[in-house]
Structure 1
Amino acid sequence: MTVITEPIADRSAAKITATLVGTVVFLTAIAPLATDLYVPAFPVVAGDLGATATQVQLTLTTFFAGMALGQLIGGPVSDRYGRRRLLIIGTLIMAAASVVCAVSPAISIMMAARFVQGFAGGWAMVIGRAVIVDLATGARLVRVLNVIAGVGGIAPIVGPLVGAVILQLSHWRMSFWTVAALGLAMAVAVALAVPESLPVQQRHRGGLAAFGSTAREVLRSRPFLGYVLVSGSSMGAVFAYVATSAFVLQSMNGLSPIAYSIDFAANAGGMTVAALAAARLAGRIATRKLILAGQLAALAAGVAMLIGALWLHAPLWLAVPCFFVLMTAQGLIGPNGGALAAAQVPRHPGTGSAVLGLVQWAFAGLIAPLAGLGGSSTAVPMAILMISCTGLSLIGLLVLARPRLLER
């Protein structure tokens, strides 16, 4: 076994270059870019298309549903047919769907186009992550995935700021034209920088037909399920915030789109710094300890937000720090949970990434409309979901992925 393993590890180390990591960062940025660019315009979109706040939030739900399905299908298909060609196809379809979003005359058409956009984006994201899992293991895998998450955090920092500027200078539809252009750029970047990381002899026969059997093998790993729940519920907490924060800070507290975007960017910056710090600490501090620290901080932010929402009408002085703590904590929880999940199923990286992506975006799609159940004048549902998602994340870490199975 040693004779076979060492050359593979050496060859993998040579393949993970800064250019490759940068391209995968670009691929993983599609979700925050496709949402954050137009989140500041939610109230304007509702008025322009004659839609309610809940209907506008449902464009997030259809996008997330597409993301989940795209990852579920893209992972096992790439295990069968390879990574590179399918990545290019996914980015081109995402660009085309973005054009349809840009010209949508009605909220229903936008919902459908957002589903396709999400499907193609999820397809590209899961395959990009599988490329990294193909080429790295152990602490190096944790480190690279945290770097990708940290640098990728630039997207949710820049996204709302660019979206607010677009809203001031042009029209919210320009946000989708921007995403379409970025999709084309992603296709070019993949063609130039991403090698085929899965040789023919290492591919699994059967593609989707074999997905059931490989999924059963993956799902038999209790630690894998635990870390998937850690990462998935973390995504739910993030999108409870994303779906509702514009209404809490703008409609309830009077922030302008620019001020809201600056706050949104600061929160994303906190998440980015936390993820990069986790990458530096990989191999030195137990990854589980970093996850637990983030979970406890997020739980405290959720409890404080619920108290403020119930008795103080979510004032700005409370909402802003609670959002910052919540989002910074996710930088410790989500990427680390995903990395430890991937480490549990090294024989099926595409299928493992597909299951992880499915759960993450299923959480996002479910949580986004639930967070808006109270309308645009209360933060109570959002705060309850923040607490609930963090509680589920704790169960994943402390119950399913038991402490005796510590990963570093």
Structure 2
Amino acid sequence: MTDVTDHAGTGVPHLGYCPDCEYLSDQPAPEDGAGPGHARVSAALVATVVFLTAIAPLATDMYVPAFPRVARDLGAGATQVQLTLTTFFVGMALGQLVGGPVSDQRGRRVPLVAAVVVMSLASVACALAPSIGVMMAARLVQGFAGGWAMVIGRAVIIDLATGAQLVRVLNVIAAVGGLAPIVGPLLGAVILQLSHWRVSFWVVAGLGVVMAVAVLVAVPETLPPDQRHGGGLRTFARAGREVLRNRRYVGYLVVAGSAMGALFAYVATSAFVLQSMNGLSPIAYSVDFAANAGGMTVAALVAARLAGRVPTRPVILVGQVAALLAGVAMLVGAIWFDTPLLLAMVCFFVLMTAQGLIGPNGGALAAAEVPEHPGTGSALLGFVQWVAAGTIAPLAGLGGEDTAVPMAVIMVLGAAASMIGLLVLARPSAENAH
């Protein structure tokens, strides 16, 4: 997810795009001190932005293994617990939409510090929540502040880097940030073994304090007053309307958004399927969750290696077919075979691995369709993905803790919708067909 600013007229060279191929890194890195405010992309700055990017998956994945216990302790059903994911994801989506334009007007540093402080306070509220309703509200605020911090953190990097340097830095952030979904559930399971599920939110609050200090120490103001603009949300809305008139962009929006929905049907429901229905311990579940996240990370790295060597659309299609087959197998197992453990684990692994082929590539091709509005296109993509995640989470749990049928249906529909987006809405025009 990148900044919603399109950098029009700022004199900053755009990153090049190659439709249906890859991002180009053919522009030279800026000289030291050439960026706004004469700041540099230091190792400490990159580490801080990685930290900001990782907080959302940590805040979610540390908490997922505890879903059955949260339901019991707060007297809530499976769908109500999953609604705490919905409110978090909706907050993330709104925070990313709003945070970028506000930082374009007010600068980066102060709004970023404010977002991290609010996220820490919301995490404390989650830790102390007496009811599921309070938990939902606190998670909404936590997600909003987290999304706000993420989009500004990425904007800081885009302010300072261009061309090859920007590509390298963003790849480092994505690679290191991809470890969060692996570490999060393992850390959450250890917390459950040694203490109470509420401790995971105290940990996130503590990380927020550390993050605020890191921002104050390592993140300079990268958008000087003379480069700020007053367009804000109005300018963003105007660019958004233009972007959404692009049929192929909308197709790739459907590709990535539908795949995200299928993925979060798994995230929201897998703890009940594997623990409540099949008896896995929190530790065993978290190891399986981490292995699946590892499969997704490896698939994304493979896709990155294939970029420029293999056309991107077939790579996406391979992932979609794999996800669809996993969903169909899961549905058959849920309806006729009471969701056996081995089948569920294999289907979840295939689904997660397929997401590594679909999501990043779909987002890249979406951006390639709107090179004149890269920030707006990326903001809308992130918004759609997080709204899809938040909408799907409670729907996947409609059957309660004893059935995987709703989740499997969503896996199938999500994969099918993603394929429609690729093959119908985003089909190449006659002159660009490969």
Deviation at 1:144, TM superposition (A): 5.8
> Is the contact between residue 157 and residue 268 of structure 1 (CA under 8 Å) also seen in structure 2?
yes
Partner of 2:343: 318
The answer on 1:42 being equivalent to 2:60 is no
Which stretch shows the higher mean deviation, 75-84 or 177-186? Answer: 75-84
| Alignment correspondent of 1:96 | 121
Q: 1:112 to 1:382 in 2, by over 3 A?
A: same
Give the match's secondary structure for 1:29: helix
Task: Summarize the Cα distance change of 1:345–1:126 in structure 2 as closer, same or farther, 3 Å threshold.
Answer: farther
1:56 and 2:81 matched:
yes
Describe the superposition over 1:268-294 as per-residue Cα deviations: whole angstroms up to 9, x where unpaired: 111111122223333333333322221
Q: Which amino acid aligns with 1:31?
A: A
Instruction: Report the CA distance between 1:243 and its aligned residue.
Output: 0.6
Residue 10 of structure 1 aligns to a residue in which SS?
Answer: coil
Counterpart in the other structure of 1:354: 379
Query: How many positions carry a matched residue from both structures?
Result: 405
Mapping of 1:23-172 within 5 angstroms?
23-131=48-156, 145=170, 147-172=172-197
Which of the residues 230, 252, 273 maps onto 2:298? 273
Unmatched segments (≥5 aa) in structure 1: none
Of residues 131-140 and 240-249 in structure 1, the stretch that sits farther from structure 2 once superposed is: 131-140
Between the aligned partners of 1:21 and 1:340, the Cα distance in structure 2 is: 25
User: d(CA) in 1 for partners of 2:78 and 2:29?
Assistant: 51
3-state SS of 2:352 partner? helix
Distance in 2, Cα, partners of 1:283 & 1:196? 36
Q: Which deviates the most, 259-268 or 282-291? A: 282-291
How far apart are 1:255 and its partner, in Å? 0.7
More helix by share: 1
Measured in 2, the distance between the counterparts of 1:30 and 1:222 equals 33
Structure 2 length as normaliser, TM-score? 0.84
Take 1:180 and 1:406, find their aligned partners in 2: how far apart are those partners?
50
1:334 to 335, 342, 359: 359
Of 361-370 and 386-395, the range deviating more from structure 2: 386-395
- Measured in 2, the distance between the counterparts of 1:192 and 1:35 equals 27
Query: What does residue 312 of structure 2 align with?
Result: 287
Distance 1:225 1:7 in 2: 22
Select which of 22, 28, 34 maps to 1:10.
Answer: 28
Measured at CA, do residues 165 and 77 of structure 1 come closer, stay the same or move farther in structure 2, by a change above 3 Å? same
Rounded to whole Å, the distance in 2 between the matches of 1:397 and 1:142 is 25
- Give the structure 1 partner of residue 273 of structure 2: 248
Supply the distance in 1 between the matched residues of 2:163 and 2:401 (Cα, whole angstroms). 45
For 1:206 and 1:331, how far apart are their aligned partners in 2?
35
**C-alpha deviation, 1:134, in angstroms:** 5.4
1:17-46 per-position Cα deviation (integer Å, ceiling 9, x unaligned): 655444333222222111111111111111
How far did 1:189 drift?
Answer: 3.2
- Residue in structure 1 matched with residue 243 of structure 2 by the alignment: 218
Mapped to 2, the partners of 1:194 and 1:164 lie a distance apart of 33
